[in-house]
Structure 1
Amino acid sequence: MKFILFNAREDEKAAIASYQKEHPEITLDIYSEDLTEETMAYMKKGYEAIIVTQVVEIPEAAYRLMKEVGIKVFAARSAGFDMYNLQLLKELGIRFTRVPVYSPFAISEFAFTNAMYLSRDVDLIQNNVETGDFRLKESITSTEIRKKTVGIIGTGNIGRQTAQLFKNSGANVIGYDIYPSKVAEDFLTYVSSVEELVEQSDIISLHVPATKENYHLFNKELFEHAKKNLILVNTARGSLVDTTALLDALDNQQIRAAVIDTYEFEGPYINKKVDLEEITDEVFLRLLKHDRVLYSPHVAFHTHTALENLVHIAIDGARRILLGEEVEEELKLDE
């Protein structure tokens, strides 16, 4: 078998090497670049699968070249797939696999930790310390988590694990999902709508995919339903939140703070060293500079366990499909 892998990062090298060691029968050609009109020239006849993890849009010509050179499987080293042209893959007869579950603990721990950081006013305390202000005062008198209600939107693997962390810490946890889970009811109580959840919650953590229905789920109108002390946590997809509406809600003190790990238009910046002076996206700059936003560059998933699972499961999904095996992670495009 001969595979081609794009977007290889330094932090993935150990995981890629360990997979190669386990499967010497696979020839794996590795490139650090994104798949673009320039780098698509790396694809030659003989490759049977392509392995990618890419936020930047893949050109249509690259998809068509995959078909021409004989690629049969497109394997994404990610859970999300909204960045890939599944309709075109379907038309070309190229099968698609991904990694829907790689480590729910990684993202849930990140969401929980950062929410607690803001909930206990650690950001305000640190700001005071930096100016030599060591006084105890009302502005840094926080409320314990057991006195708060945490809302979980999306109660799949990651949402359930996040709910469990908050529940075990003593919070009242509520949830909303168009497909409620009996398992999740061990850790939360379902409410009937997103609006109801927003009205009750002191902390909200998002764990739903980017779909047309979820586009700008959190918008100006929904923020108007929120408590003034709300902390919004988005470790899911940037398009779930209208960022301008979020920043306005923060400025107007409609909500208290936000943890943002995914930004809607992050493609040009993620996993790159960027000169901040050269950023032209005014909304992104406003997000970065806002003192009530705890921003991180799409790193919630980033643990050794998650990296190894993302690499191994993606490559192995392609291998097993080519061997004729049933692969749970495959997204059936012809159904």
Structure 2
Amino acid sequence: MKVAFFSTKPYDKTYFNAHNKNQSIVYFETRLNKTTCNLASGFDAVCVFVNDMLDREVIELLHQHGIKLIALRCAGFNNVDLEAAREYGLQVSRVPAYSPEAVAEHALALILTLNRKTHKAYNRVKECNFSLNNLVGFNVYKKTVGVIGTGKIGQAFCRIMKALGCEVIAFDPYPSQDLKEFGISYVDLDHLLQKSDIISLHCPLTEQTKHIINENSLKQLKPNCMLINTSRGALIDTEAVIQGLKEKQVGYLGIDVYEQEEKLFFEDLSEHIIDDDLILRLIGFPNVLITSHQAFLTEEALHEISKSVLNDIRQFEETQELINPVNT
């Protein structure tokens, strides 16, 4: 099959070329949207990432260009209009479990960095400042950690935090029996918000979960609570969390995703003026740590992503069926 590959980065080429045997892939650095989808003309499939926007208009244009398959190289699919894909007969695949541990471990990295302020200590030492003033953290051991969403990533995170000696509680409409047997207690959302010292988000972005962290939920948090998001940016109402930081309802915020990240993340904007007051406000808080959607970025994950996507493309080419379909 001829595959138009959008939002290409150097590591994409490295890992996809290493595993590709018989697909014709053309790499485009640009994101897929209504102004760039003409690049897909003459291809059979598009391979897209989290910030490629496949709304109804783009789906219709892809159909007109002869595209039959949308291959997501990520787990989430909130950027695809699935109803439009169904109407126009486009199949959609995803990578459901490339490396749950990669994302779970990054959530832990955000927790420990925010807590022990190792990023600040690193910068101090580079300037020969060996002072320990204002670097006081807390023991994660025996803290209550609330996990919202216990899919494969959430489960991996629960096991990590349990191993650190934390009391782990979880909220999910579909509880995991394995986690229950591992000692994880499922509670309702209000209880989790009120009792947790650390809250980590691991749920998909849906109509039900959008802004699950909002003005009302923030008011329920324990004083100095730490909030971590490595899932999807719109799970958090950004304006509300900024207000929560100002009012000290939120003690720490660590995010690898951001509600308006499609305008910023994955690009070098160091010589540009950032026209986003919310991200600039977040960057200005001393108790906020932001990484630019890198939680997935491990060698193991990149190998699994490329193999999974290519296997689905090959399966579709041979049988018109998918190994990891998104239900359209």
Aligned residues of 2:6 and 2:27 also touching (Cα < 8 A): yes
* Distance 1:62-1:245 versus aligned 2 partners, 3 A rule: closer
Q: Answer with 115-124 or 276-285: which moved more.
A: 115-124
CA distance in 2 between counterparts of 1:68 and 1:140 reads: 58
One-letter amino acid of the structure 2 residue matched with residue 102 of structure 1: Y
* Counterpart residue type for residue 144 of structure 1: N
Cα deviations by residue, 1:92-115 (Å, 9 ceiling, x for unpaired)? 011110111110011001001211
TM-score normalised by structure 1 residue count: 0.90
Instruction: Name the residue aligned to 1:32.
Output: 29
1-10 vs 322-331, which moves further = 322-331
Percent identity of equivalent pairs: 30
Specify whether residues 143 and 315 from structure 1 end up closer, same or farther in structure 2 by C-alpha distance, changes over 3 A only.
Answer: same
Q: C-alpha displacement at 1:82, in angstroms?
A: 0.5
1:48 to 44, 50, 67: 44
State whether residues 7 and 34 of structure 1, in contact with CA within 8 Å, keep that contact through their aligned partners in structure 2.
yes
Q: In the superposition, relative to structure 1, how do residues 212 and 188 fare at CA in structure 2: closer, same or farther (>3 Å)? A: farther
- Residues 277, 44 of structure 1: CA spacing in aligned structure 2 closer, same or farther, 3 A cutoff? closer
**Corresponding position of 2:235:** 240
Deviations 1:101-155 (A, max 9, x none): 11001100100121122233546656876694635x7x54443222211111101
> What residue in structure 2 maps to residue 198 of structure 1?
193
> C-alpha separation between the residues in 2 aligned to 1:53 and 1:34?
9
Cα separation, 2, equivalents of 1:326 and 1:302 = 28
Residues 196 and 59 of structure 1: CA distance in aligned 2, closer, same or farther (over 3 Å)? closer
For residues 277 and 271 of structure 2, the distance between their equivalents in structure 1, rounded to whole angstroms, comes to: 11
The one-letter code of the counterpart of 1:117 is T
- Are the aligned partners of 2:197 and 2:222 in contact in 1 as well (CA < 8 Å)? yes
CA distance in 2, matches of 1:141, 1:3: 51
Q: 2:283 & 2:244 partners in 1: Cα distance? A: 16
Partner of 1:77: 73
**Using the alignment, how far apart are the partners of 1:212 and 1:117 within structure 2?**
32
After TM superposition, the structure 1 = structure 2 runs for residues 117-156 of structure 1, keeping only pairs within 5 Å, are 117-122=113-118, 132=129, 134=131, 140-156=135-151
Q: Give the superposition deviation at 1:29.
A: 2.2
What is residue 160 of structure 1 aligned with on the other side?
Answer: 155
Q: Which residue of 2 aligns with 1:290?
A: 285
CA distance in 2, matches of 1:150, 1:311: 33
What 5-or-longer segments of structure 2 have no aligned partner? Answer: none
Partners of 2:129 and 2:39 lie apart in 1 by 56
Q: Is the 8 A contact 1:7 1:54 kept in 2?
A: no
Tell me the equivalent position of 2:15. 15
Residues 308-319 of structure 1 mapped to structure 2, 5 A cutoff: 308-319=303-314
Distance of 2:183 and 2:258 partners within structure 1: 27
Give the aligned residue type for 2:9: R
Which 10-residue stretch deviates more, 125-134 or 31-40?
125-134
| Distance change >3 Å, CA 200–CA 274, structure 1 → 2 | same
CA contact (8 A) 2:158 2:184 kept: no
Q: How many angstroms apart in 2 are the aligned matches of 1:30 and 1:165?
A: 37
Supply the AA of the counterpart residue of 2:38.
A
Unmatched tracts of structure 1, length 5 or more = none
- 1:60 CA drift (Å): 4.4
Are 1:163 and 1:187, in contact at CA under 8 Å, matched by a contact in 2? Answer: no
Q: 1:168 to 1:325 in 2, by over 3 A?
A: farther
In structure 2, the CA distance between the partners of 1:329 and 1:121, relative to structure 1 (3 Å rule), is same
1:189-233 deviation per Cα after TM superposition (whole angstroms, max 9, x unaligned): 333311101111111110001111111111111111111121110
Residues 63-105 of structure 1 show CA distances to partners (whole Å, capped at 9, x for unaligned) of 2233234322111111111111211111101111011111001
Could you say what the CA RMSD is over the residues aligned between the two structures, in angstroms?
Answer: 2.2
SS in 1 for 2:199: strand
The two structures have a TM-score, normalised by structure 2, of 0.91
- Aligned-partner SS, 2:261: coil
Q: 2-side partners of 1:276 and 1:196: how far apart?
A: 45
What is the number of residues matched between the two proteins? Answer: 327
The equivalent of 1:179 in structure 2 is 174
Alpha-carbon offset, residue 283 of structure 1: 1.0
Number of the residue aligned with 2:203: 208
**One-letter amino acid of the counterpart of residue 332, structure 1:** N
Asked if residue 65 in structure 1 is aligned to residue 58 in structure 2, the reply is no
Alignment CA distance shift 1:75-1:194 (3 Å): same
The match for 1:108 is: 104
Q: C-alpha distance in 2, partners of 1:276/1:201? A: 40
Kindly indicate whether the alpha-carbon contact (under 8 Å) linking 1:51 and 1:315 is maintained by their aligned counterparts in 2.
no
